[in-house]
Structure 1
Amino acid sequence: MLRFMPVGDSMTIGSAGEHTWRYRLWQHLRGTYGGPFQIVGPRETLYDQATGEPDSYEYADPDFPRAHLAGWGEGWQHMAPLIGEAVRAHRADVLLVSLGLIDLGFYTNAEQTVDNVWAFVSAAREARPRVRMVLLPVIPNIRAQEDGPFAEQVALFNTLLAKTAADLDEPRSPLLLASSPEGWDIHTDTYDGTHPNASGEHRIAGAFAGAMYEAWGLGEPYVA
């Protein structure tokens, strides 16, 4: 039984009324993995933009394993202290991680954010030495188009993340850097310049699925 744990920020937790990329990836794995698997994590809810609280169960299709470790406004610095217990409690085998935009936007610069990546990976491995991880680069959003210094930080972080993934990769606990979602366009793949719409959900799911297939032979190429 392979246990996948999605870890992320607002793009991963999703909002009331959405499917989320977690749902799209679950659908893909259900049809292509060829073995038993679970989606695991300590949380299940969506973010309710009307109330400003992560307490909604109003998924577009609630009939799927909704577990995750994601939060609106949370980044590497928030998840690093939580990941060890989450991995230990839910026996996660594969972490699917999409973090960094909120860190760079509000909390830490690129170098400081990478320090939190190291802390996250260390805590996850301490809890489960053979855990595998797939890291998604930060997807530039509308702010990156309008704010030059922020765009530079996003680009620098993604460069440092690639180096970090190479430095921390090891045979017993592989660390895989996914490619940015192919063809991503903030005008057609998001509803506000940042958060994915249905098209964006498929592209993010495809980035994770493609990385696991190409590197580990897990599943098949993603088809929306």
Structure 2
Amino acid sequence: MLRFMPVGDSQTIGSAGEHTWRYRMWQHLRTTYPGPFRIVGPRETLYDKATESPDSYEYAEPDFPRAHLAGWGEGWIHMVPLIQEAVRAHRADVLLVSLGLIDLGFYTNAEQTAENARAFVAEARAANPRIRMAVLPVIPNVRAQSDAPFAAAVTSFNDFLAKTVADLDEPRSPLLLVSPPPGYDIHLDTYDGTHPNESGEHRIAEAFAEAMYQAWDLGEPYAAESA
């Protein structure tokens, strides 16, 4: 049985009332992946903007495996100390990782963020030497349109991330750099320039699904109508 753990920031945890791309991925896997699988992780909730805390279970569709390791305002820097125990406790086999926007926005520069990505990989492998990781580059958000230094940091980090994945990839624990969602438009696929709406959820799930299918022959091509 493959155990998938979504790891991410606000785009992954989602907020009250949303489906989340995690739901879209689960729908995709259950219709295209023939083997048994589970969605695992130490958390289950959404972020509640009213209480400003991750304490909501108000999913648009609550009847799905809601486990994850994602947090509103959390990045690589926050996940490095958590990932080893999370992988060990939940016996994760595949990590679906979408991190970096919050790091670059508030905590670390591009090079420091890439170092944290390397530390994350090492911590995950310490718990499971055969862990697989599919990693999504940072999708530039609305801030990148008006803040040139931030836009440059995003571009620089994504270059560092590609090199990190290439350097650390190994046969027993493959790392996969996911291609950015094709056609992703922050004006059409988000509700605020950063966080995905329904079409954005599908595009992010599709990016992970297509990468795993093409690189690992896992599942089938993504079909939004089934997810």
- Shorter-chain TM-score tier: over 0.9
Residues 182-201 of structure 1 aligned to structure 2 (within 5 Å): 182-201=182-201
Deviation at 1:39, TM superposition (A): 0.1
Deviation at 1:138, TM superposition (A): 0.1
Residues 130-209 of structure 1 aligned to structure 2 (within 5 Å): 130-209=130-209
Residues 107-122 of structure 1 aligned to structure 2 (within 5 Å): 107-122=107-122
Partner of 2:71: 71
Which residue type is aligned with residue 176 of structure 2? L
TM superposition score normalised by structure 1: 1.00
Which residue type is aligned with residue 196 of structure 1? P
Which residue type is aligned with residue 131 of structure 1? I
TM superposition score normalised by structure 2: 0.98
Task: Tell me the SS of whatever aligns to 2:149.
Answer: helix
Which residue type is aligned with residue 38 of structure 2? Q
Deviation at 1:19, TM superposition (A): 0.1
Partner of 1:20: 20
Structure 1, unaligned runs of 5 or more: none
Render the CA deviation track for 1:12-57: whole Å, top value 9, x for unaligned.
0000000000000000000000110000000000000111010000
Quote the sequence identity (%): 80
CA RMSD between the two structures: 0.3
Partner of 2:95: 95
Regions of 4+ moved over 2 Å: none
C-alpha separation between the residues in 1 aligned to 2:155 and 2:223?
28
The answer as to 2:4 corresponding to 1:4 is yes
Task: Tell me the SS of whatever aligns to 2:162.
Answer: helix
C-alpha separation between the residues in 1 aligned to 2:119 and 2:181?
25
Task: Tell me the SS of whatever aligns to 1:186.
Answer: coil
Task: Tell me the SS of whatever aligns to 1:139.
Answer: coil
Deviation at 1:223, TM superposition (A): 1.1
Residues 24-43 of structure 1 aligned to structure 2 (within 5 Å): 24-43=24-43
Partner of 1:128: 128
C-alpha separation between the residues in 1 aligned to 2:118 and 2:218?
25
Task: Tell me the SS of whatever aligns to 2:133.
Answer: strand
C-alpha separation between the residues in 2 aligned to 1:83 and 1:181?
25
C-alpha separation between the residues in 2 aligned to 1:141 and 1:90?
32
C-alpha separation between the residues in 2 aligned to 1:103 and 1:187?
23
C-alpha separation between the residues in 2 aligned to 1:218 and 1:204?
17
Structure 2, unaligned runs of 5 or more: none
Which residue type is aligned with residue 103 of structure 1? D
Task: Tell me the SS of whatever aligns to 2:59.
Answer: coil
Which residue type is aligned with residue 28 of structure 2? H
Deviation at 1:76, TM superposition (A): 0.1
Deviation at 1:92, TM superposition (A): 0.1
Task: Tell me the SS of whatever aligns to 1:7.
Answer: strand
Paired residues, what number? 224
